Chain A
Amino acid sequence: MKRIILLLFAVCLSHSGLAQDKGSVLITNGTVVTITDGNKENADVLIEDGIITEVGQDLAAPIGVETIDASGKYVMPGIIDAHSHIAGVDINEWTNPVTAEVSMEESINPNDVNIYWALAGGVTSIHLMHGSANVIGGQNETLKLRYGSSMDEMRFKGAPRTIKFALGENPTRVHGQNFNVKPRTRMGVEQVIRNHFDAALDYKRNRKDYLEAKEAYEKGQLSKPPVPVAKNARMDALADIIAGEIRVHCHSYRADEIMMLMRVFNDYGIKDYTFQHANEAFKIAPELRENNAYTSVFSDWWAYKFEVYYSTAFNASILNANGVTNSINSDSGELIRHLNHEAAKTVHYGGTSKQDALKMITINPARQLGIADKVGSIEEGKQGDVAIWSGDPLSIYSIAEATFIDGKKYFDRSEDANDMRLQANPEEDFGRSQQRWYDANGRQGGSCMRGAEMRFTNQGMKYQQSTK
């Protein structure tokens, strides 16, 4: 028993030690891509104890702080992916059209090698999202890619709570088509949301009344005990959305369904929301702007299902030109490795400026996740999440050379080993060669529907790989 307590103590100690894992570094003479204040040539960035304390020229390293010469290189804020499923353990709690009570909070694998691969692409933060099988899915978790730390240390401290919504084909197929449960149509999707919001408001009022009455009864101010209104985690989460305590990130594609949700949100006074994927957002850019809605889109994915058939890779540029704060996301363990080039495609499709393209993978996703006061640009006072690139980060010939989170180096190409796994199982000597090199059945590595597609197999339904 004593040993166990000691062991627990040691584990707690080591973890709290890691939680303080911040570093100091001086990166000199690079082209600093500040994002919020243009590019600064031959500039230095000083990070002290995890915080950017100075951006300028000819800075001196405090005693004991390592200096890295970035001459001829670019220093850029860590890339932020507003839609990811890497490092996720379970993705979809698909069993009900509404599962607002569940959370990705305890569904994080800090040892997922995909984290390392993302760091090697200059990414420092991700929005680990619940899947898209339900209209109102689970709560997401914003992470810092502290590879090999603990579940708790992976979480982005101070990031607001967010929740996944999903409109269109995914929830209507999973619930309506397969389980014969509403919603079967986009009409039904709207009512599922409205019904649950109404129920949450009623619950909140009734629960409050009950608790007040209970208190009054206990104080002897009431003669009879009130009829109890049980605590309901799902209703609590829904009420928190309406109260503005949880930001909605909604999987959506078509213009009509995006308009629908904005109407619903206006009716319930919900603000600060982001449409994820939003392939048809370009059709209603003025309306999105008017509602201060955010969008987070693919650079060029389309045609893998009907609701993305009338898409355009110009989506991001059109949104940007219309004043919508847009980010480029991956939703993929592959795309997250080169989000810089996904952003560069907005220059190709629609002539977005290079500075705006870079914003779409840094400050814009930071705004959407409510962490723009902490990360997303290189500014004094912000957290030291930066990457050093061999050249212009938008160029295909540039390579991320080192990636820092809170001033601590998590990736260094010069120290990169072949096997970077943290949990190696020597028994598992299989490749993934059965995963065909060609795109046999739609998108690879179905992320948004991970976990839910197995349901189709069990139900004797067609195995769905192709569902983002």
Chain B
Amino acid sequence: MKDAERTMKYLSSLVTGLALMLVTTLSVDAQITEKATFGKFAITNATIHTVSDGVIENGIVLINGETIEFVGQKAKIKPGYTQINAEGKHLYPGFMDAGTQLGLKEIGAVDVTNDQAELGEFNPHVRAFTAINPSSVSIPVTRVNGVTHVISMPVSGRFSGKATLIDLYGYSPDSMAVSPNAALHLNWPSAVKGGYWDDRSDEKVQKEYEKNLKELNKFWDKAVFYDKMVASYDENNANQEMPDTDKKMEAMSEVINGNIPVIISVGNKKDILNAIAWTEQHPDAQFILAGVHDGWRVADEIADAGLPCLVSTLYTPERDYDNYQRPYQNPGLLHEAGVKVAISTGDTENVRNAPYHAGYAATYGLGKEEALKAITLNAAEIFGVQDKLGSIEVGKQANLFLSDGDPFEPMTHIEQVFIRGYKIPMVSRHSQLNDEYLNRGAKKN
């Protein structure tokens, strides 16, 4: 190579290198310091999927602070609103995943980063809300896909603890929580074998079930008694001894009185029927079934019991002899029987796939409209927060996102997310690594 050529090559690579460094530095800096913005926004020319009231073409949504101020086709936009032209874009209410461990678990195989499983069988007093890590790397990764709210729950033992309903933007659990105590999680005691590896005899399985059920009932009955005792003392403590404090029993009070629901994780047909029978013994309490892989087998019974179901679709069939489509069809079959269904992935770092769970449900019987409800308004209703979440309506919280197409399609891009009125930076570790490495440039960096 001639000297001049070499010099030129050196210079040009130097310039490219410097330019690249500058771009990289700038972009990384911008991402780290970029904050959500808050104020007044006017989203115009959007196809608005309200969920509660159909689709509005060329619509306008006004956001004022935390709240949706206007939804419709014609509005005079006053000064002070940041305008976002959403021509050709679709506007959806933020999606909600009704069963996750987001914020509780950071790295699956690293125990010290796992806060989803406390020791002990009966832990109604432990709260997911306490251990939500607002800095979990998975949170931005999730919200940039349009999932703005999750139920995050403890998972171990019989009564695992209280699940929390949070939105995915904030610097503390307190600012993120919609319902700090959204529900109590119960792992239903199974009366069936777990699988081929389960070598217990049928008698033993039944015996263990009965023992577990007895313990559960004993705990519940004790909670009912404790609640009565405390109530009676509070009413008139004249001639009564003050009851000792029992945190577990105190934590059961809002559960047995039906102020918050019990999420019952249950899968097998027999177990579902057992669980239904058990819920009927507690008319004062509220119950939700979760998982319910065999739900389609007993959909009528679930519907008759009036129990809503938290369901996913991306798992392998419950039994080897089940039709390959059953996981996909389960939400549709439950809905057809009259059960209210909401999407719950059960996942942590890939809660961002919740829209695809809904997409499968839509394709295999639930239909697009109902699937959209299952991942928005139904979830809000099941947890009693439909006044704030789940649809694009005046007066509701501004939780929404703009996309360039159908969000159930994996190919669609989510372009802008709003949570509680905050315009969220569309960055996450995943996009940041992309920005840094896509054109990494020189091979010897």
Contacts and interface: CB of A to CB of B under 8 A. Distances in A.
Interface of A: 113-114, 116-117, 120, 169, 282-283, 285-287, 290, 300-306, 309-314, 317-318, 321, 333-334, 337-338, 341, 344-345, 347-350, 354, 394-397, 399, 416-421, 424, 428, 430-445, 464, 466-467
Interface string B116-129: 11000000000000
A116 B324 contact: yes
Interface of B: 99-101, 106-110, 116-117, 137-138, 153, 155-156, 187, 190, 192-196, 198, 265-269, 271, 290-294, 312, 314-325, 344, 346-350, 352-353, 356, 359-360, 362-363, 408-413, 429-431, 433-434, 437-438, 440, 443
A345 B317 CA distance: 23
Given A290-B443, A312-B429, A305 B109 contact: yes
A435 B192 CA distance: 12
Given A303-B107, A304-B109, A305-B107, A396 B315 contact: no
Contacts of A419: 321-323
11 contacts: A169-B109, A285-B440, A300-B353, A312-B433, A337-B324, A431-B269, A431-B318, A433-B194, A434-B267, A437-B267, A439-B347
B412 A348 contact: yes
Given A303-B108, A341-B410, A440-B117, A334 B320 contact: no
B97 to A, nearest CB: 11
B265 A434 contact: no
Contacts of A430: 192-196, 198, 319
Given A420-B323, A436-B346, 8 more contacts: A290-B443, A301-B350, A304-B107, A306-B107, A314-B430, A344-B410, A431-B294, A464-B109
A341 to B, nearest CB: 5
Contacts of A440: 116-117, 155-156
A353 to B, nearest CB: 11
A175 to B, nearest CB: 17
Contact of B293 (A300, A305, A341, A431): A431
A141 B9 CA distance: 48
A396 to B, nearest CB: 4
A354 B411 contact: yes
Contacts of B412: 348
B198 A434 contact: yes
> Per DSSP, are chain A's interface residues mostly helix, strand or loop, or mixed?
loop
A22 B346 CA distance: 43
Given A286-B443, A312-B433, A437-B346, A113 B320 contact: yes
B356 A341 contact: yes
A350 B196 CA distance: 42
Contact of B410 (A116, A283, A347): A347
Given A314-B433, A428-B196, A439-B348, A286 B440 contact: yes
Contacts of A303: 106-108, 137-138, 348-349
Across the A-B interface, the 5 shortest Cβ-Cβ residue pairs: A434-B194, A437-B291, A433-B267, A442-B108, A438-B346
